[in-house]
Chain A
Amino acid sequence: MAGRIIACATYVPFLRLTRAEYRKAWGRCAADISEKAVADFDEDAVTMAVEAGRQVLALVDAAGVRVLALASTTLPYAEKMAAGTVAAALGLPEKVTSVELGTSARAGTEALLSALALLGGEEATALVLAADCPAAGPGEDLDHALGAAACAFVLAAGSGGVEFEGAASRVTERLGERFVPRGAVRIRDVGVRTYTGEAYAATVGAVVRDLLERLGRRPGDYRYVVLPQFDGRQTASLGRRLGFTSEQMEAGLIFARVGDTGVCASLLGFCAVLEQASPGDRILVAGYGSGCGGQALSFVVREPVLRPPHGLHYWLERKRYIDYLHYLKLRLKEQLL
Protein backbone atom coordinates (compact mmCIF):
# COMPACT_ATOMS: atom_id res chain seq x y z
CA MET A 1 0.00 0.00 0.00
CA ALA A 2 1.94 3.00 -1.27
CA GLY A 3 0.93 6.55 -0.74
CA ARG A 4 1.96 9.92 0.57
CA ILE A 5 0.75 12.93 2.43
CA ILE A 6 0.93 16.10 0.37
CA ALA A 7 -0.82 18.63 2.60
CA CYS A 8 -2.07 19.04 6.14
CA ALA A 9 -3.86 21.61 8.27
CA THR A 10 -5.19 21.94 11.80
CA TYR A 11 -7.95 23.75 13.61
CA VAL A 12 -8.20 24.47 17.31
CA PRO A 13 -11.30 26.24 18.66
CA PHE A 14 -10.92 29.75 20.06
CA LEU A 15 -11.94 29.03 23.65
CA ARG A 16 -9.56 27.79 26.36
CA LEU A 17 -10.08 26.61 29.89
CA THR A 18 -7.05 26.65 32.19
CA ARG A 19 -5.90 24.33 34.91
CA ALA A 20 -6.38 27.26 37.31
CA GLU A 21 -10.12 27.38 36.49
CA TYR A 22 -10.42 23.71 37.45
CA ARG A 23 -8.62 24.44 40.70
CA LYS A 24 -11.02 27.28 41.44
CA ALA A 25 -14.09 25.22 40.61
CA TRP A 26 -13.16 21.80 41.96
CA GLY A 27 -10.15 22.40 44.15
CA ARG A 28 -7.93 20.48 41.77
CA CYS A 29 -7.35 19.54 38.16
CA ALA A 30 -7.32 15.83 37.45
CA ALA A 31 -5.60 16.26 34.08
CA ASP A 32 -2.01 17.07 33.29
CA ILE A 33 -2.91 20.13 31.21
CA SER A 34 -1.96 23.77 31.43
CA GLU A 35 -5.05 24.61 29.35
CA LYS A 36 -7.40 22.90 26.97
CA ALA A 37 -9.34 23.88 23.87
CA VAL A 38 -13.12 24.04 24.15
CA ALA A 39 -15.56 23.90 21.25
CA ASP A 40 -17.89 26.89 21.20
CA PHE A 41 -21.67 26.65 21.45
CA ASP A 42 -22.06 26.40 17.69
CA GLU A 43 -19.15 24.06 16.99
CA ASP A 44 -19.15 20.30 16.64
CA ALA A 45 -17.01 17.66 14.98
CA VAL A 46 -18.53 18.49 11.58
CA THR A 47 -17.89 22.24 11.74
CA MET A 48 -14.35 21.69 13.02
CA ALA A 49 -13.66 19.16 10.27
CA VAL A 50 -14.85 21.76 7.74
CA GLU A 51 -12.53 24.36 9.31
CA ALA A 52 -9.53 22.12 8.81
CA GLY A 53 -10.76 20.85 5.44
CA ARG A 54 -11.20 24.33 3.97
CA GLN A 55 -7.59 25.13 4.73
CA VAL A 56 -6.16 22.16 2.86
CA LEU A 57 -8.57 22.55 -0.04
CA ALA A 58 -7.13 26.01 -0.58
CA LEU A 59 -3.87 24.16 -1.38
CA VAL A 60 -5.16 21.41 -3.68
CA ASP A 61 -8.01 21.09 -6.15
CA ALA A 62 -11.25 20.01 -4.44
CA ALA A 63 -12.54 18.57 -7.71
CA GLY A 64 -9.71 16.03 -7.71
CA VAL A 65 -10.67 14.53 -4.34
CA ARG A 66 -11.90 10.95 -4.87
CA VAL A 67 -11.81 9.68 -1.29
CA LEU A 68 -13.09 11.26 1.90
CA ALA A 69 -12.34 9.63 5.23
CA LEU A 70 -13.95 11.31 8.21
CA ALA A 71 -12.97 10.35 11.73
CA SER A 72 -14.71 11.42 14.92
CA THR A 73 -16.17 9.90 18.07
CA THR A 74 -18.50 12.88 18.44
CA LEU A 75 -20.34 13.21 15.14
CA PRO A 76 -23.52 15.18 15.81
CA TYR A 77 -25.91 12.42 14.77
CA ALA A 78 -25.71 8.80 15.97
CA GLU A 79 -27.16 7.85 12.60
CA LYS A 80 -27.00 10.08 9.53
CA MET A 81 -24.07 10.56 7.18
CA ALA A 82 -21.79 13.33 8.34
CA ALA A 83 -19.52 12.99 5.31
CA GLY A 84 -22.31 14.45 3.17
CA THR A 85 -22.50 17.57 5.32
CA VAL A 86 -18.75 17.99 5.13
CA ALA A 87 -18.64 17.28 1.39
CA ALA A 88 -21.41 19.80 0.71
CA ALA A 89 -19.73 22.46 2.82
CA LEU A 90 -16.37 21.86 1.17
CA GLY A 91 -17.74 21.55 -2.35
CA LEU A 92 -16.37 18.03 -2.87
CA PRO A 93 -17.65 16.03 -5.83
CA GLU A 94 -20.66 13.86 -4.94
CA LYS A 95 -18.87 10.90 -6.50
CA VAL A 96 -16.30 10.87 -3.71
CA THR A 97 -15.89 7.53 -1.94
CA SER A 98 -16.54 8.33 1.68
CA VAL A 99 -16.07 6.47 4.93
CA GLU A 100 -16.89 7.54 8.45
CA LEU A 101 -14.98 6.08 11.35
CA GLY A 102 -15.49 6.73 14.98
CA THR A 103 -16.16 4.05 17.58
CA SER A 104 -12.89 4.94 19.26
CA ALA A 105 -10.16 7.56 19.30
CA ARG A 106 -8.14 5.27 17.02
CA ALA A 107 -10.43 6.38 14.18
CA GLY A 108 -7.84 9.05 13.38
CA THR A 109 -5.13 6.65 12.26
CA GLU A 110 -7.79 4.29 10.90
CA ALA A 111 -8.89 7.10 8.60
CA LEU A 112 -5.34 7.59 7.30
CA LEU A 113 -4.97 3.87 6.59
CA SER A 114 -8.46 3.60 5.07
CA ALA A 115 -7.85 6.53 2.77
CA LEU A 116 -4.55 5.05 1.58
CA ALA A 117 -6.28 1.73 0.92
CA LEU A 118 -9.28 3.30 -0.85
CA LEU A 119 -7.05 5.40 -3.01
CA GLY A 120 -5.32 2.26 -4.27
CA GLY A 121 -2.99 3.33 -7.00
CA GLU A 122 -5.40 5.88 -8.42
CA GLU A 123 -4.11 9.20 -9.74
CA ALA A 124 -6.29 11.21 -7.39
CA THR A 125 -6.30 12.64 -3.92
CA ALA A 126 -7.90 11.59 -0.67
CA LEU A 127 -9.04 13.95 2.04
CA VAL A 128 -8.73 12.75 5.61
CA LEU A 129 -10.56 14.77 8.24
CA ALA A 130 -10.34 14.06 11.93
CA ALA A 131 -12.28 16.17 14.40
CA ASP A 132 -13.43 15.58 17.93
CA CYS A 133 -14.87 17.30 20.97
CA PRO A 134 -15.35 14.49 23.51
CA ALA A 135 -17.20 15.21 26.74
CA ALA A 136 -17.77 13.45 30.04
CA GLY A 137 -19.98 14.41 32.98
CA PRO A 138 -18.75 17.80 34.19
CA GLY A 139 -18.28 16.42 37.69
CA GLU A 140 -16.10 13.55 36.54
CA ASP A 141 -12.29 13.55 36.60
CA LEU A 142 -12.43 12.16 33.08
CA ASP A 143 -13.79 15.45 31.77
CA HIS A 144 -10.85 17.53 32.96
CA ALA A 145 -8.63 16.44 30.08
CA LEU A 146 -11.20 16.49 27.29
CA GLY A 147 -10.45 19.09 24.64
CA ALA A 148 -11.34 19.74 21.02
CA ALA A 149 -9.49 20.04 17.71
CA ALA A 150 -9.47 18.99 14.06
CA CYS A 151 -6.87 18.05 11.46
CA ALA A 152 -6.99 17.57 7.73
CA PHE A 153 -4.63 15.66 5.45
CA VAL A 154 -4.51 15.36 1.71
CA LEU A 155 -3.14 12.04 0.54
CA ALA A 156 -2.09 10.92 -2.89
CA ALA A 157 -0.97 7.68 -4.40
CA GLY A 158 2.63 7.07 -5.37
CA SER A 159 5.90 8.09 -3.89
CA GLY A 160 7.34 11.46 -2.85
CA GLY A 161 5.81 13.92 -0.38
CA VAL A 162 5.64 12.42 3.07
CA GLU A 163 5.79 8.82 2.02
CA PHE A 164 3.95 6.08 3.82
CA GLU A 165 6.29 3.20 4.69
CA GLY A 166 4.12 0.74 6.56
CA ALA A 167 1.83 0.16 9.52
CA ALA A 168 1.13 -2.26 12.34
CA SER A 169 -2.21 -2.84 13.98
CA ARG A 170 -3.56 -4.82 16.92
CA VAL A 171 -6.97 -5.28 18.48
CA THR A 172 -7.97 -7.12 21.65
CA GLU A 173 -10.75 -7.25 24.26
CA ARG A 174 -10.48 -4.82 27.16
CA LEU A 175 -13.61 -4.17 29.21
CA GLY A 176 -14.69 -1.04 30.98
CA GLU A 177 -12.10 1.33 29.66
CA ARG A 178 -13.43 4.64 28.19
CA PHE A 179 -16.82 3.90 26.65
CA VAL A 180 -20.03 5.64 25.68
CA PRO A 181 -23.10 3.43 26.07
CA ARG A 182 -25.46 3.48 23.09
CA GLY A 183 -27.81 6.44 23.40
CA ALA A 184 -25.49 8.35 25.70
CA VAL A 185 -23.18 11.21 24.70
CA ARG A 186 -20.74 11.26 27.58
CA ILE A 187 -17.65 9.21 28.07
CA ARG A 188 -17.45 6.91 31.08
CA ASP A 189 -14.89 4.47 32.40
CA VAL A 190 -14.56 2.20 35.40
CA GLY A 191 -12.25 4.70 37.04
CA VAL A 192 -9.31 2.37 37.65
CA ARG A 193 -6.37 4.36 36.35
CA THR A 194 -3.73 1.67 36.63
CA TYR A 195 -5.96 -0.71 34.69
CA THR A 196 -6.71 1.71 31.85
CA GLY A 197 -3.13 3.00 31.84
CA GLU A 198 -1.80 -0.50 31.43
CA ALA A 199 -4.12 -1.20 28.49
CA TYR A 200 -2.83 1.89 26.72
CA ALA A 201 0.84 1.21 27.39
CA ALA A 202 0.64 -2.48 26.50
CA THR A 203 -1.30 -1.98 23.27
CA VAL A 204 0.50 1.07 21.90
CA GLY A 205 3.80 -0.43 23.00
CA ALA A 206 3.03 -3.65 21.15
CA VAL A 207 2.12 -2.02 17.82
CA VAL A 208 5.15 0.27 17.93
CA ARG A 209 7.40 -2.75 18.48
CA ASP A 210 5.55 -4.65 15.72
CA LEU A 211 6.15 -1.81 13.31
CA LEU A 212 9.83 -1.44 14.17
CA GLU A 213 10.28 -5.16 13.70
CA ARG A 214 8.37 -5.27 10.42
CA LEU A 215 10.41 -2.42 8.94
CA GLY A 216 13.66 -3.57 10.53
CA ARG A 217 14.09 -0.31 12.41
CA ARG A 218 15.33 0.80 15.77
CA PRO A 219 13.85 3.63 17.86
CA GLY A 220 16.79 5.84 16.97
CA ASP A 221 15.93 5.68 13.24
CA TYR A 222 13.08 8.12 13.78
CA ARG A 223 13.53 11.87 13.90
CA TYR A 224 9.99 12.32 15.29
CA VAL A 225 7.72 10.05 17.30
CA VAL A 226 4.10 10.93 18.02
CA LEU A 227 2.24 8.72 20.48
CA PRO A 228 -1.47 9.18 21.26
CA GLN A 229 -2.04 11.73 24.02
CA PHE A 230 -4.85 11.19 26.49
CA ASP A 231 -2.64 12.17 29.40
CA GLY A 232 0.72 13.93 29.33
CA ARG A 233 2.69 11.79 31.76
CA GLN A 234 1.36 8.51 30.38
CA THR A 235 2.53 9.39 26.86
CA ALA A 236 5.96 10.59 27.96
CA SER A 237 6.50 7.56 30.14
CA LEU A 238 5.52 5.11 27.37
CA GLY A 239 7.87 6.88 24.97
CA ARG A 240 10.76 6.45 27.38
CA ARG A 241 9.91 2.77 27.92
CA LEU A 242 9.95 2.22 24.15
CA GLY A 243 13.39 3.76 23.90
CA PHE A 244 12.52 7.14 22.43
CA THR A 245 14.22 10.28 23.62
CA SER A 246 12.50 13.48 24.62
CA GLU A 247 14.04 15.13 21.52
CA GLN A 248 12.15 12.66 19.33
CA MET A 249 8.90 13.12 21.26
CA GLU A 250 8.91 16.83 22.04
CA ALA A 251 7.67 18.34 18.76
CA GLY A 252 4.59 16.14 18.71
CA LEU A 253 3.52 16.61 22.34
CA ILE A 254 0.55 18.96 22.19
CA PHE A 255 -1.60 17.56 24.98
CA ALA A 256 -0.80 20.11 27.67
CA ARG A 257 -2.11 22.94 25.49
CA VAL A 258 -5.27 21.42 23.99
CA GLY A 259 -6.13 18.42 26.15
CA ASP A 260 -7.36 15.06 24.94
CA THR A 261 -8.65 15.64 21.45
CA GLY A 262 -10.02 12.14 20.81
CA VAL A 263 -9.34 11.10 17.22
CA CYS A 264 -6.81 13.93 16.98
CA ALA A 265 -4.92 12.71 20.04
CA SER A 266 -1.94 11.82 17.90
CA LEU A 267 -2.81 13.43 14.54
CA LEU A 268 -2.58 16.95 15.91
CA GLY A 269 0.97 16.22 17.09
CA PHE A 270 1.63 14.58 13.73
CA CYS A 271 0.63 17.82 11.98
CA ALA A 272 2.95 19.78 14.29
CA VAL A 273 5.78 17.49 13.25
CA LEU A 274 4.89 17.61 9.54
CA GLU A 275 5.02 21.40 9.66
CA GLN A 276 8.67 21.32 10.72
CA ALA A 277 10.03 18.09 9.27
CA SER A 278 12.77 18.17 6.64
CA PRO A 279 13.49 15.81 3.76
CA GLY A 280 15.00 12.61 5.08
CA ASP A 281 13.26 12.73 8.46
CA ARG A 282 11.39 9.60 9.53
CA ILE A 283 8.18 9.97 11.53
CA LEU A 284 6.40 7.34 13.61
CA VAL A 285 2.81 8.07 14.57
CA ALA A 286 0.61 5.80 16.68
CA GLY A 287 -3.10 5.69 17.41
CA TYR A 288 -5.02 4.16 20.25
CA GLY A 289 -8.65 3.18 20.70
CA SER A 290 -10.10 2.17 24.05
CA GLY A 291 -11.48 -1.29 24.52
CA CYS A 292 -8.94 -1.67 22.76
CA GLY A 293 -6.63 -1.46 19.79
CA GLY A 294 -3.52 0.28 18.56
CA GLN A 295 -1.99 1.31 15.29
CA ALA A 296 1.46 2.56 14.37
CA LEU A 297 2.37 4.16 11.04
CA SER A 298 5.75 5.00 9.60
CA PHE A 299 6.48 7.85 7.19
CA VAL A 300 9.58 9.27 5.58
CA VAL A 301 9.73 12.87 4.43
CA ARG A 302 10.78 13.18 0.76
CA GLU A 303 9.53 16.72 0.40
CA PRO A 304 7.71 18.96 2.90
CA VAL A 305 3.92 19.04 2.94
CA LEU A 306 1.92 21.95 1.58
CA ARG A 307 0.80 24.08 4.50
CA PRO A 308 -1.92 26.70 4.81
CA PRO A 309 -0.97 30.22 5.96
CA HIS A 310 -1.99 29.35 9.51
CA GLY A 311 -0.12 26.47 11.11
CA LEU A 312 -0.82 24.77 14.43
CA HIS A 313 1.13 27.43 16.29
CA TYR A 314 -1.29 30.09 15.03
CA TRP A 315 -4.31 28.15 16.22
CA LEU A 316 -2.73 27.46 19.60
CA GLU A 317 -1.96 31.14 20.11
CA ARG A 318 -5.34 32.39 18.85
CA LYS A 319 -7.49 32.00 21.93
CA ARG A 320 -9.78 33.44 24.52
CA TYR A 321 -9.86 32.18 28.07
CA ILE A 322 -13.24 31.39 29.55
CA ASP A 323 -14.16 30.82 33.17
CA TYR A 324 -15.44 27.55 34.51
CA LEU A 325 -19.05 28.77 34.62
CA HIS A 326 -18.96 29.55 30.92
CA TYR A 327 -17.44 26.13 30.30
CA LEU A 328 -20.15 24.47 32.37
CA LYS A 329 -22.86 26.23 30.35
CA LEU A 330 -21.24 24.90 27.17
CA ARG A 331 -21.09 21.38 28.60
CA LEU A 332 -24.74 21.55 29.64
CA LYS A 333 -25.97 23.44 26.58
CA GLU A 334 -28.70 20.91 25.78
CA GLN A 335 -30.23 21.51 29.19
CA LEU A 336 -29.89 25.31 29.28
CA LEU A 337 -33.47 26.00 28.15
Chain B
Amino acid sequence: MGAHISVPMYQRAVPQRYRLVGLRCRNCGRVNFPPKGVCRYCGVGADFEECRLSGRGTVHSWTLIAGAGAPPEFAAEAACKGSYPVVLVELDEGPRIIAQMVDPPEEGPRIGMRVEAVFRRIYEEEGVIRYGFKFRPMT
Protein backbone atom coordinates (compact mmCIF):
# COMPACT_ATOMS: atom_id res chain seq x y z
CA MET B 1 0.00 0.00 0.00
CA GLY B 2 1.75 3.11 -1.21
CA ALA B 3 1.32 6.75 -0.35
CA HIS B 4 -0.07 7.47 -3.73
CA ILE B 5 1.55 10.33 -5.53
CA SER B 6 -0.08 10.30 -8.93
CA VAL B 7 2.11 10.22 -11.99
CA PRO B 8 1.01 13.73 -13.07
CA MET B 9 1.89 15.03 -9.61
CA TYR B 10 5.32 13.40 -9.81
CA GLN B 11 5.74 14.75 -13.34
CA ARG B 12 5.24 18.31 -12.09
CA ALA B 13 8.16 17.81 -9.71
CA VAL B 14 10.55 16.44 -12.34
CA PRO B 15 12.73 19.58 -12.49
CA GLN B 16 13.25 19.45 -8.71
CA ARG B 17 13.73 15.73 -8.49
CA TYR B 18 15.89 15.20 -11.56
CA ARG B 19 18.12 18.24 -11.45
CA LEU B 20 17.40 20.12 -8.22
CA VAL B 21 15.77 23.19 -9.67
CA GLY B 22 15.03 25.63 -6.86
CA LEU B 23 13.40 29.03 -6.69
CA ARG B 24 15.42 32.14 -5.95
CA CYS B 25 13.37 34.80 -4.17
CA ARG B 26 13.47 38.08 -6.04
CA ASN B 27 12.89 39.90 -2.76
CA CYS B 28 15.68 38.51 -0.55
CA GLY B 29 17.76 36.49 -3.01
CA ARG B 30 17.64 33.26 -1.06
CA VAL B 31 16.94 29.89 -2.61
CA ASN B 32 13.80 27.95 -1.75
CA PHE B 33 13.95 24.21 -2.31
CA PRO B 34 11.57 22.47 -2.68
CA PRO B 35 9.52 25.35 -4.12
CA LYS B 36 7.32 27.52 -1.92
CA GLY B 37 4.46 29.88 -2.67
CA VAL B 38 5.89 32.47 -0.29
CA CYS B 39 9.60 32.66 0.45
CA ARG B 40 10.53 30.57 3.47
CA TYR B 41 13.25 33.05 4.44
CA CYS B 42 11.88 36.59 4.13
CA GLY B 43 8.26 35.54 4.50
CA VAL B 44 7.03 38.04 1.93
CA GLY B 45 8.65 37.29 -1.45
CA ALA B 46 6.27 35.51 -3.81
CA ASP B 47 8.12 36.22 -7.02
CA PHE B 48 10.86 33.76 -7.88
CA GLU B 49 13.31 32.82 -10.59
CA GLU B 50 14.37 29.24 -11.23
CA CYS B 51 17.91 28.24 -10.41
CA ARG B 52 19.73 24.94 -10.48
CA LEU B 53 21.34 23.87 -7.23
CA SER B 54 24.84 22.44 -7.18
CA GLY B 55 23.72 19.31 -5.37
CA ARG B 56 26.60 19.67 -2.93
CA GLY B 57 25.96 19.94 0.76
CA THR B 58 26.74 18.87 4.29
CA VAL B 59 25.03 16.22 6.43
CA HIS B 60 23.03 18.02 9.12
CA SER B 61 21.72 14.82 10.65
CA TRP B 62 21.28 11.19 9.69
CA THR B 63 19.61 7.93 10.57
CA LEU B 64 19.56 4.32 9.45
CA ILE B 65 16.13 2.99 8.56
CA ALA B 66 15.97 -0.63 9.65
CA GLY B 67 14.58 -3.16 7.21
CA ALA B 68 11.36 -3.98 9.02
CA GLY B 69 10.41 -0.34 9.54
CA ALA B 70 10.78 1.00 6.00
CA PRO B 71 7.81 2.61 4.24
CA PRO B 72 6.02 0.14 1.93
CA GLU B 73 7.55 1.77 -1.18
CA PHE B 74 11.03 1.02 0.17
CA ALA B 75 10.36 -2.37 1.74
CA ALA B 76 12.10 -4.38 -0.98
CA GLU B 77 15.14 -2.13 -0.93
CA ALA B 78 15.32 -2.39 2.85
CA ALA B 79 14.93 -6.16 2.64
CA CYS B 80 17.83 -6.28 0.21
CA LYS B 81 20.13 -3.97 2.14
CA GLY B 82 19.07 -4.81 5.69
CA SER B 83 18.89 -1.11 6.46
CA TYR B 84 19.62 2.07 4.56
CA PRO B 85 20.86 5.51 5.58
CA VAL B 86 18.73 8.61 5.31
CA VAL B 87 20.33 12.03 5.65
CA LEU B 88 19.12 15.55 6.25
CA VAL B 89 21.45 17.57 4.05
CA GLU B 90 22.11 21.28 4.18
CA LEU B 91 22.75 22.23 0.59
CA ASP B 92 25.48 24.77 -0.10
CA GLU B 93 22.86 27.24 -1.39
CA GLY B 94 21.11 27.10 2.01
CA PRO B 95 18.04 24.86 1.87
CA ARG B 96 17.91 21.54 3.64
CA ILE B 97 16.46 18.38 2.20
CA ILE B 98 16.00 14.76 3.25
CA ALA B 99 17.11 11.92 1.00
CA GLN B 100 18.64 8.49 1.10
CA MET B 101 22.41 8.16 1.15
CA VAL B 102 24.06 5.82 -1.34
CA ASP B 103 27.50 4.23 -1.14
CA PRO B 104 27.86 5.10 2.56
CA PRO B 105 31.24 4.61 4.18
CA GLU B 106 31.70 1.44 6.23
CA GLU B 107 31.36 3.38 9.48
CA GLY B 108 28.07 4.99 8.36
CA PRO B 109 27.16 8.63 7.78
CA ARG B 110 28.19 11.35 10.20
CA ILE B 111 27.19 14.93 10.84
CA GLY B 112 29.33 17.36 8.89
CA MET B 113 30.12 14.90 6.11
CA ARG B 114 30.26 16.46 2.63
CA VAL B 115 27.88 14.91 0.11
CA GLU B 116 26.80 15.37 -3.50
CA ALA B 117 23.49 14.62 -5.17
CA VAL B 118 23.24 11.64 -7.50
CA PHE B 119 20.44 10.49 -9.76
CA ARG B 120 18.83 7.22 -8.69
CA ARG B 121 15.62 5.22 -8.75
CA ILE B 122 13.64 6.23 -5.67
CA TYR B 123 10.69 3.84 -5.87
CA GLU B 124 8.26 2.38 -8.34
CA GLU B 125 4.49 2.57 -8.41
CA GLU B 126 1.95 1.57 -11.07
CA GLY B 127 4.91 0.19 -13.02
CA VAL B 128 6.32 3.72 -13.31
CA ILE B 129 9.83 4.23 -12.03
CA ARG B 130 10.13 7.35 -9.89
CA TYR B 131 13.63 8.74 -10.33
CA GLY B 132 15.11 11.43 -8.15
CA PHE B 133 18.09 12.52 -6.10
CA LYS B 134 19.96 10.80 -3.32
CA PHE B 135 23.26 11.80 -1.76
CA ARG B 136 26.69 10.21 -1.95
CA PRO B 137 29.74 11.02 0.17
CA MET B 138 32.08 13.35 -1.68
CA THR B 139 35.71 12.48 -2.14
Interface residues of A (CB under 8 A from B): 14, 40-44, 46-47, 50-51, 54, 76-77, 85, 88-91, 318, 320, 326, 329-330, 333, 336-337
Shortest Cβ gap from B37 to chain A (Å): 24
Q: Does B122 contact A (CB under 8 A)?
A: yes
Q: Given A41-B77, A88-B18 in contact, is the A14-B120 Cβ separation under 8 Å?
A: no
- Within 8 Å by CB of B102, from A14, A50, A76, A337, lies A14
- Which B residues lie within 8 Å of A46 (CB)? 131
| Residues 1-50 of B at the A interface (beta carbon under 8 Å) | 14-15, 18-19
Cα distance A333–B78 in the bound complex, in angstroms: 11
Looking at A41, A318, A330, the one whose CB has the most chain B CB atoms below 10 A away is A41
Cα distance A320–B81 in the bound complex, in angstroms: 13
**Interface pair A329/B131, CB less than 8 Å apart:** no
Q: Which residue of chain B has its CB nearest to the CB of A76?
A: B129
**Interface pair A336/B80, CB less than 8 Å apart:** yes
- Which B residues lie within 8 Å of A85 (CB)? 18, 131
- Which A residues lie within 8 Å of B122 (CB)? 42
Shortest Cβ gap from A150 to chain B (Å): 12
- Which B residues lie within 8 Å of A89 (CB)? 18-19, 119, 131
| Residues 55-89 of B at the A interface (beta carbon under 8 Å) | 75-77, 79-81
- Within 8 Å by CB of A42, from B14, B52, B106, B134, lies B134
Cα distance A160–B76 in the bound complex, in angstroms: 49
**Interface pair B131/A337, CB less than 8 Å apart:** no
Shortest Cβ gap from B30 to chain A (Å): 22
Q: Which residue of chain B has its CB nearest to the CB of A90?
A: B19
- Within 8 Å by CB of A40, from B14, B18, B102, lies B102
- Within 8 Å by CB of B75, from A77, A320, A330, A337, lies A337
Q: Which residue of chain A has its CB nearest to the CB of B77?
A: A41
Cα distance A174–B100 in the bound complex, in angstroms: 45
Q: Which residue of chain B has its CB nearest to the CB of A49?
A: B119
- Which A residues lie within 8 Å of B102 (CB)? 14, 40, 42
Q: Which residue of chain A has its CB nearest to the CB of B134?
A: A42
- Which B residues lie within 8 Å of A77 (CB)? 129
Shortest Cβ gap from A257 to chain B (Å): 18
Shortest Cβ gap from A218 to chain B (Å): 43
Q: Does B92 contact A (CB under 8 A)?
A: no
Cα distance A43–B119 in the bound complex, in angstroms: 9
Excluding A42-B77, A47-B118, 6 further A-B contacts by CB distance (< 8 Å) are A14-B103, A40-B102, A41-B81, A41-B121, A42-B102, A47-B119
Cα distance A51–B131 in the bound complex, in angstroms: 13
- Which A residues lie within 8 Å of B120 (CB)? 42-43, 47
Cα distance A44–B131 in the bound complex, in angstroms: 11
Cα distance A76–B76 in the bound complex, in angstroms: 17
**Interface pair B76/A47, CB less than 8 Å apart:** no
Shortest Cβ gap from B80 to chain A (Å): 4
Shortest Cβ gap from B62 to chain A (Å): 18
**Interface pair A88/B134, CB less than 8 Å apart:** no
Shortest Cβ gap from B134 to chain A (Å): 7
- Within 8 Å by CB of B79, from A43, A51, A329, lies A329
Cα distance A42–B131 in the bound complex, in angstroms: 9
**Interface pair B119/A50, CB less than 8 Å apart:** yes
Q: Which residue of chain B has its CB nearest to the CB of A14?
A: B103
**Interface pair A336/B79, CB less than 8 Å apart:** yes
- Which B residues lie within 8 Å of A40 (CB)? 102-103
- Which A residues lie within 8 Å of B18 (CB)? 85, 88-89
Cα distance A333–B106 in the bound complex, in angstroms: 23
Cα distance A88–B52 in the bound complex, in angstroms: 13
**Interface pair B19/A330, CB less than 8 Å apart:** no
Looking at A40, A42, A318, A329, the one whose CB has the most chain B CB atoms below 10 A away is A42
- Which B residues lie within 8 Å of A76 (CB)? 121, 129
Cα distance A43–B120 in the bound complex, in angstroms: 6
Cα distance A77–B81 in the bound complex, in angstroms: 24
**Interface pair A41/B129, CB less than 8 Å apart:** no
Cα distance A336–B77 in the bound complex, in angstroms: 9
Nearest 7 CB-CB pairs, A to B? A14-B103, A42-B120, A50-B119, A42-B121, A89-B18, A329-B80, A336-B76
Cα distance A320–B137 in the bound complex, in angstroms: 14
